[in-house]
Amino acid sequence: MNIEKMMKKRRVGQTDIFVTPVAMGCWPITGITSTNVTEEQSLATLRAAFDSGINFFDTAFIYGYHGESETMIAQALGTHREEIVIASKCGLHWGVDKKQVRDARPETIKSECEESLQRLKTDRIDLYYLHAPDPNVPIEESAGAIRKLLEAGKILAAGVSNFSQIKQYEAFQSVCPISADQPHYNMLQREIEFDRIPWCREHQVSVIPYWPLMKGFLAGKLPRDHVWEERDGRQKYPIFQGNEWTRTHDFLDEIRPIAAESGMTLAQLAVFWCLQQPGITAALCGAKRPIQIQETAETMSKLLSVDQLSRVQKAIERRGTLNSRPAVQ
User: Which sequence positions are flagged as catalytic?
Assistant: 63
CB 131 within 8 A of CB 163: no
CB 53 within 8 A of CB 20: yes
E strand or H helix at 79: none
Burial classification of residue 324, based on how many CB atoms lie within 10 Å of its CB (0-12 exposed, 13-18 middle, 19 or more buried): exposed
CB 87 within 8 A of CB 19: no
Return the amino acid letter for 106: P
CB 133 within 8 A of CB 139: yes
DSSP state of 13: T
DSSP state of 140: H
Distance (Å, rounded) from C-alpha 155 to C-alpha 111? 13
Indicate if the alpha-carbon torsion angle 37, 163, 285, 312 is positive or negative. Answer: positive
E strand or H helix at 128: strand 127-130
Other CB atoms within a 10 A radius of the CB of residue 267 amount to 22
CA dist 296 to 25, 60, 109, 264, 279, Å? 12, 21, 33, 10, 20
